[in-house]
Amino acid sequence: MSFIDRVDPELRAGLEAFPPDLLDMTDIPGTRLKFTEWMAGLPAAAVEGVSVEEHRAPGPSGSPTVTILLYRPDGHPGVLPAVLWIHGGGYVLGQARDDDALARGLARNVKCVVASVDYRLAPEHPFPAPLEDCYAALRWLWGNAARLAVDPSRIAVAGASAGGGLAAGLALLARDRGEVPVRFQVPIYPMIDDRGLTFSSRAITDPLVWNARSNMLGWKAYLGQEPGGEGVSPYAAAARAADLAGLPPAFIPVGDLDLFLDENVEYAQRLMRAGVPTELHVYAGAYHGFYLMAPEADVSLRFIRDYEHALKRVLHG
């Protein structure tokens, strides 16, 4: 049975509607334009009861300021926990406003402040620029917690795909720099291993949204070199980290038809062996980004409910 044949029936229409050449990583500027238009046309339920403000955080030394969209649920005037949200896009695509509906839903359902960061993109700005932008946003959120009515001891980092990879790298970086405490990490089907050695990373060659070829081109742009070589920082590719002890608890969800499946499962297992409380969810019949294209499918609703419940449990526990 092929990977396409294993797709959940409720997710097939979304996959069939996905333009097969949308993620043509050989023309990144052109792909960015097409991707932005496609994201704007995705089905998304209106989310009421959430206010949003735009802020600027000081960037890394010698770099521009970092734009942050700050979401807060209405009717909750007191101090709230916060989630630093990092959008996906293979390290080369996307922007914070692409995830507006997602951020609004997260703020309302988890009852938290969501800080969605607009980091610089590769290949114009390869590693470490995107990660340092995310760290600058995290440091700004924590340092301005009193003004923003945020509890500085209850800050989580989360993101999907490349955003999940940045969230995992950010958790490592925050641990090692020792400046900002991170309470929880939610790397959602994260892009964390540039080596492409696992079965799933090589086997997903069908369109299935993000495949092996797109993955290698995304990594090459982000690293500024051919992926899989020597000297790649674990902050860029978290799966390369030798020591995972002392990281914040993790919740990692991924579909079983996602090319990131194996590297995500292996990372979750390594986190557990390192003594990090970790919850791993694998969703049958789900390909990369499935919940964006079929938000009303049962598996999509369970997926969103699961990671929102995890955040709520840890941040309000």
Contact by Cβ (8 Å): 257, 287: yes
| Averaged pLDDT for residues 215-244 | 97
Known catalytic residues are: 161, 258, 288
Strands (E), the chain: 50-57, 66-73, 80-86, 113-118, 150-160, 184-188, 250-255, 278-283
Res. 2: pLDDT tops 90: no
Distance of CA 89 to the CA centre of its chain: 9
Strands (E), 100-139: 113-118
Which range has the worst mean pLDDT, 18-32, 51-65, 112-126, 191-205?
Answer: 18-32
φ and ψ of 119, to 5 deg = -85, 160
| Averaged pLDDT for residues 210-227 | 95
Q: pLDDT category, 25, cuts 50, 70, 90?
A: confident
Give pLDDT tens digits for 158-179: 999 999 999 999 999 999 999 9
**β-bridge pairing 250-255 and 150-160:** unpaired
Res. 43: pLDDT tops 90: no
Looking at residue 265, its pLDDT comes to 98
Mean pLDDT of the chain, nearest integer: 95
| Averaged pLDDT for residues 103-129 | 98
Strands (E), 144-298: 150-160, 184-188, 250-255, 278-283
**Bridge partners of residue 86, in order along the sequence:** 117, 159
Looking at residue 26, its pLDDT comes to 86
State what percent of residues in the chain have pLDDT above 70. Answer: 100
| Averaged pLDDT for residues 198-221 | 90
Looking at residue 44, its pLDDT comes to 74
Which structural domains are found in the chain, ordered by start?
4-315 (3.40.50.1820)
Looking at residue 20, its pLDDT comes to 81
Res. 132: pLDDT tops 90: yes
| Averaged pLDDT for residues 263-287 | 98
Looking at residue 21, its pLDDT comes to 83
Count of residues making up the chain: 317
Res. 1: pLDDT tops 80: no
Contact by Cβ (8 Å): 288, 258: yes
Q: pLDDT category, 85, cuts 50, 70, 90?
A: very high
pTM summary value: 0.97
Res. 45: pLDDT tops 80: no
CB crowding 182-221: b at 16 or more within 10 Å, else e = bbbbbbbbbbbbbeeebebbeebebbbbbbbebbbbbbbb
